[in-house]
Amino acid sequence: MVEIKAYNLTAVKQPMELAKRSEEPADDEVIVEVKGCGVCHTDIGFAFEGVKTVHPLPLTLGHEIAGVVVGAGSGFDNLLQEQVIVPAILPCGECDVCKRGGGNHCPNQVFPGCHRHGGFASHVIVPGKGLCVVDKRRCAEDRLPDLAVVADAVTTPYQAIVKSGLRAGEIAVFIGVGGVGGFGVQIAKALGARTVAIDVSDERLQTMREYGADKTINARELDGKLIRKEVQGFAKEIGAPPVEWKIFETSGTAAGQTTAFGLLNHGATLMVVGYTLDVVTVRLSNLMAFDARAMGTWGCVPELYKPAVELVLEGKVRLEPFVERHPMSSINDIFSRIHERKISKRPVMIPDFD
C-alpha cells in the first residue's frame, strides 16, 4: 500500500486539484516513484479541448513517466529499485492482436493518464510488463527525469520512422518540429537520412539546424507548391532520389496536415503522427496516382523503447536542449502557458510534494 499525492483533473478548463489516495499493486503491477513526468499536447487536449479520457474524471493525467520501482506485486519483484521509463502505451501482450504484432491497437492496452491515473503524482501504479529499464551505470538518477520524454516525444517518432521503412540516404521531411518532430529530425539524422524541417517558427528552425536538419523551410513564407519545389531542389542538390520521400506530419495542425499531403510524390510514405480535432480536405486519389501510402501511428510498442533509449544514451539524440524542468506544484501555470503557446520547450514536472 502506498499513499499517493497527485494533481487531478476534475473538469475541463478547470485547474487541477491536489489530492491524496491510497493504492496497492496487483500481482502483475508495480509502484513507480515518479522522478519526472513530461507534459504532452495530448494532456492539453484532455485539460482544455474536451478530448475524452477513458477513465472518468477526476483523473491524474501524465503519460511521459520516468522513475524508480519502489514496490511490486509478486510477479515483478525483480524490478524493485530499478530505474524505469513507463511506456505511454502498455499492450497486454497476451491477446491475439498482440501475438500478431499489433500491440499498438491492443484492445486491452493501458494508457496512463487516460485509462488510469498517470504520472503527475508522487507515485504511479502500472503494469510491470513492458517497462523499459534504464541502466544505472549509464544513466545517473539526476538525469532520469529528462528521460521521461522518451515515453512519447522520442519513441513516438522513432516508431513512425521504423514503420515508414526509412533508409540511410533517403529524404525525411518533418512538418512541425517543436516537440515530437524535433526529436524525429534527430532520430532520422542519426539513422543516416537527409532531413528537412518545416515549421512556422524561425527560432525552432534555427535550433534544428544545430541538431540534425539538413534543410529548413519556414511555412509562413511559402505556399504548398513552393514548399514542394524547395524540397525537390534540395533533393536534386544532394543527389537524392526525386521519389519515395518519407513525410512525417508532426505538427498536429490542419495546415501541417495539408502541407504534408501536398508533398506526396511517387512511392512516398506519409506518416500521420500529430493529432488535431480539425477536419482536413484532401484528394485521396493522389495516393493512387503516386502509388503512395499514408498511415497513422499510435504511441510506441514497448519493444522499440530500448533502441530509442540507446540513441539518447549514446548522445545521438539530445534531450537537454529541448526540455525544461518545473516543480510539479506549478502544474496549472505550466498547462496554461502551454495552452497559450508561451512555452517552446517540453516541460518535465518534478514532484515537490514534501
Give 142-167 pLDDT, tens digit per residue: 999 999 999 999 999 999 999 999 99
Q: Could you give the domains of the chain?
A: 2-151+300-350 (3.90.180.10), 155-296 (3.40.50.720)
Q: Specify whether the CB–CB gap between 69 and 82 falls below 8 A.
A: yes
Query: How far from 126 is each of 73, 83, 94, 161, 286, CA to CA, in Å?
Result: 11, 14, 16, 27, 43
pLDDT, position 31: 98
| Whole-angstrom distance, CA of residue 40 vs CA of residue 152 | 8
Is a pLDDT exceeding 90 seen at residue 344?
A: no
pLDDT at 284: 96
3-state secondary structure at position 286: helix
Dist. CA 84–CA 160, nearest whole Å: 23
pLDDT at 24: 94
Q: What is the Cα–Cα distance from 147 to 127, expressed in whole angstroms?
A: 19
Residue 277's pLDDT band (boundaries 50, 70, 90)? confident
User: What pLDDT is stored for residue 354 in this prediction?
Assistant: 81
pLDDT 10s digits, 40-60: 999 999 999 989 999 999 999
81: cell is 529499485
Q: Place 328 in a pLDDT band, splitting at 50, 70 and 90.
A: very high
Report DSSP letters for 309-323, one per residue.
Answer: HHHHHTTSS--GGGE
48-56 long-range contacts (CB < 8 A, ≥24 apart) are: 48/12, 48/13, 48/335, 48/339, 49/12, 49/277, 50/12, 51/277, 53/9, 53/113, 53/114, 53/115, 54/111, 54/114, 54/115, 55/114, 55/115, 55/116, 55/117
d(CA 261, CA 343): 28
CA nearest neighbour of 248 among 124, 160, 165, 344: 160
Give the separation between CA 21 and CA 4, rounded to whole angstroms.
5
What's the pLDDT score for residue 35? 98
